[in-house]
Chain A
Amino acid sequence: MAHVGNLKEKPVITGVGCTKFGSVLETPEIKGLAFQELACEAAFEAMDEAGVDPKDIDAFYIGSMVSHISHLYSHNTQMADWLGLHLKPGVHFATACATTNTGLGLAAMDVASGKYRNVLVLGCEILSSTATDDPTKRKALDPSQLWYWTDFGVDQAYAYHHSYDIATAYGGLPTLGYAKKHKVPMEKMDEAMFNVHKNVRLHGSKNKKAFVTTTLQQEAKKAGFKDAWGFWQSRKNPYLAWPTRVKSALNTVDGASAMVVSSKKEAKKNFKKDPIEVAGFHWSSSNYPWYGADPTYWEIDDTAFKAAMKMAKIKAKDVGYLDVHDCMQIYQLIESEICGYFKKGEAWKAFIEGRTTYKGDKPMNTSGGRHAKGHAFAASAGAEIYEAVKQMRGEAKGRQIKDEPEVSMVHNHGYGMHSAVTVLKR
């Protein structure tokens, strides 16, 4: 068990912000926005909601992963005046796709130490296109180039040069491993993944900030299929790496997310709603490979979940809403079992029975996850914290969990691999 320290006083989230996820080249709500502008949109929403003026923000973290695309580093220096935080202490940081989950913990420690009263955590990523030598123009990005840069996150001494295959390592083998370990016939496993995806799309269809807002059934009908299952098994949904199909994987998008973390004293002063407590968090790091002979057991996640829950003084049965990293949707099964939200070998049945939708008794990933909501690397974890906060406050219009969760847990993978888990309480 990892060392688990605690904070003398738990800070709270007072404000959250998130842009529409999509493409700055095409999506009307964010079309034409530059990195600076996209980041400001999320940050201003979070600060407005927290009821704090930029002068009350004592420090800020800004996360962004792929500098080759943004043509930025030292983002904090370039963003300080844009954010109204001129001369404030800022840090650019990244833990890849877990960045803004990790940032929440960093901010919580800053506030709990007494050094700062209110800290802004901001994540922004543009993946549709690269910056050019003209700041008003962007160039569409070839996906193979994006993945070349993304794979810089994977063991560059050895693994990458030994034919590293992300689709097989991160999708295919864990899915196959799950089926074999729990003796789920492959056809049934495909049906389970179909149901995971139906949930993903259901939730995306009810989230105006999601990238994909159609249900799977609507897409199937439009493509000329009588039913979604036939569409799922068709050539329209080929294997990315057997047994993982294309629709079980992420969609890369552009977007930004933000949150304001405050002391309870500050929250009482400025904030009109019930603040959400940052009750526990933990991170764990591992070089490749991320799992051994059993692809369903990830020691880094087990470590992070256990330590975050211990810090928050909760058990898995206390969690009313769970959000797990789903760049590959198989992790909705694997991670929900690692943390104990479901018993081992039971998650696949729960998805088929519809228990994980926003209407179910075990709700998960209600924003639409990294396929429907979309995946904007450093901004995605913040968007998932945003969703948890909205659910806990009863503000998740159209996809609200019936009984607002008292406890939520958000898990993220940062390629490759950082595991970040945060427990929130209201």
Chain B
Amino acid sequence: MMERMIEKFYKSLAKGKIYGTKCKKCKEFTFPPKAGCKKCGAHKMEWKTISGDGTLHFFSSGNLPPMKFAKYHPYAYGAVELKEGPVFFTQIEGVDVSNVEAIEEQNMQMPMPVKAKVKKMAGMNIVVFKVVKSQAKKKSKRKSKK
């Protein structure tokens, strides 16, 4: 019988563990967990927790949020490249989406380090990423000196 992978992923979040899967054949990391490897197609995967470290490349905020997340609007949604390789899209904390000038200014400072956290939203635990403040500030200062 197939393993209940989706259930394991979400149940593990409640315990603070964020799982991905790693291909036993080619070692490619997949996040979130899947039964097959995106790179080589193999079906032998092992569970691995992610480090939680990532790089935020872009973010913005849309005016067409899904019904489920409409009550959280406006929120930042961005593309995070995990230290392990995969790119994951989710909600971003620690950035300002109150006006387009702020969104533009912050995007011009990208890429920026972020850290994964588990957050309860719309009745379930999900993975979001938060900007690592100290490093983001240093980066901003370096940029402004140029």
Q: Name the contact of A242 in the complex, choosing from B69, B78, B91, B100 (C-beta under 8 A).
A: B100
Considering the chains assembled together, what is the distance between the CA atoms of A165 and B90 in angstroms? Answer: 9
Q: B63 and A239: CB pair below 8 A?
A: yes
Q: Name the contact of B65 in the complex, choosing from A158, A159, A165 (C-beta under 8 A).
A: A165
Instruction: Select the stretch in A40-48, A123-131, A144-152, A360-368 that faces chain B.
Output: A144-152
Q: B60 and A168: CB pair below 8 A?
A: yes
Interface centre among B62, B75, B104, B107 (most CB of A within 10 A): B62
Q: A242 and B124: CB pair below 8 A?
A: no
Instruction: Select the stretch in A68-76, A169-177, A394-402 that faces chain B.
Output: A169-177
**Mask for B41-67, Cβ within 8 A of A = 1, else 0?**
000000000000001011111111111
Q: A293 and B57: CB pair below 8 A?
A: yes
Q: B104 and A242: CB pair below 8 A?
A: yes
Question: Count the B residues whose beta carbon is within 8 Å of the partner chain — how many?
Answer: 39
Interface centre among A166, A180, A241 (most CB of B within 10 A): A241
Q: Is B29 an interface residue (CB 8 A)?
A: no
Interface centre among B75, B87, B89 (most CB of A within 10 A): B89
Interface centre among A147, A165, A242, A291 (most CB of B within 10 A): A165
Q: B58 and A169: CB pair below 8 A?
A: no
Q: A168 and B107: CB pair below 8 A?
A: no
Q: Is A382 an interface residue (CB 8 A)?
A: no
Considering the chains assembled together, what is the distance between the CA atoms of A180 and B78 in angstroms? Answer: 15
Q: Is A164 an interface residue (CB 8 A)?
A: yes
Contact residues in A for B104 (Cβ distance below 8 Å): 186, 242-243
Given A289-B79, A292-B81; A166-B67 close (CB under 8 Å)? no
Given A151-B66, A288-B89; A162-B58 close (CB under 8 Å)? no
Q: Is A184 an interface residue (CB 8 A)?
A: no
Interface centre among B65, B75, B78 (most CB of A within 10 A): B65
Expressed in whole angstroms, the minimum distance between the Cβ of B74 and any Cβ of chain A is 10
Q: Is B132 an interface residue (CB 8 A)?
A: no
Contact residues in B for A293 (Cβ distance below 8 Å): 55, 57, 79, 81, 87
- Closest chain A residue, CB of each to CB of B127: A162
Expressed in whole angstroms, the minimum distance between the Cβ of B20 and any Cβ of chain A is 11
- Closest chain B residue, CB of each to CB of A156: B6
**Mask for B13-48, Cβ within 8 A of A = 1, else 0?**
000000000000000000010000000000000000
Q: Name the contact of B87 in the complex, choosing from A166, A168, A172, A292 (C-beta under 8 A).
A: A292
Contact residues in B for A186 (Cβ distance below 8 Å): 104
- Closest chain B residue, CB of each to CB of A239: B100
Q: Is A161 an interface residue (CB 8 A)?
A: yes
Q: Is A167 an interface residue (CB 8 A)?
A: yes
Q: A172 and B60: CB pair below 8 A?
A: yes
Contact residues in B for A288 (Cβ distance below 8 Å): 89
Expressed in whole angstroms, the minimum distance between the Cβ of A252 and any Cβ of chain B is 12
- Closest chain B residue, CB of each to CB of A241: B62
Q: A162 and B126: CB pair below 8 A?
A: yes
Considering the chains assembled together, what is the distance between the CA atoms of A255 and B94 in angstroms? Answer: 44
- Closest chain A residue, CB of each to CB of B126: A162
Contact residues in A for B75 (Cβ distance below 8 Å): 163, 165
- Closest chain A residue, CB of each to CB of B111: A293
Q: Is A374 an interface residue (CB 8 A)?
A: no
- Closest chain B residue, CB of each to CB of A158: B32
- Closest chain B residue, CB of each to CB of A242: B100
Q: Is B103 an interface residue (CB 8 A)?
A: yes
In the A-B complex, the 5 residue pairs with the closest CB atoms: A167-B62, A241-B62, A172-B60, A165-B77, A163-B91
Q: Assuming A148-B67, A163-B90, A176-B60, what are 18 further A-B pairs, CB within 8 angstroms?
A: A144-B67, A147-B66, A160-B66, A161-B122, A162-B89, A162-B126, A162-B127, A163-B77, A165-B77, A166-B62, A168-B78, A176-B58, A177-B58, A240-B62, A241-B61, A289-B89, A292-B87, A293-B87
Interface pairs (11), CB distance under 8 Å: A147-B66, A161-B68, A162-B88, A163-B66, A168-B62, A241-B60, A241-B62, A241-B64, A242-B60, A243-B104, A295-B58
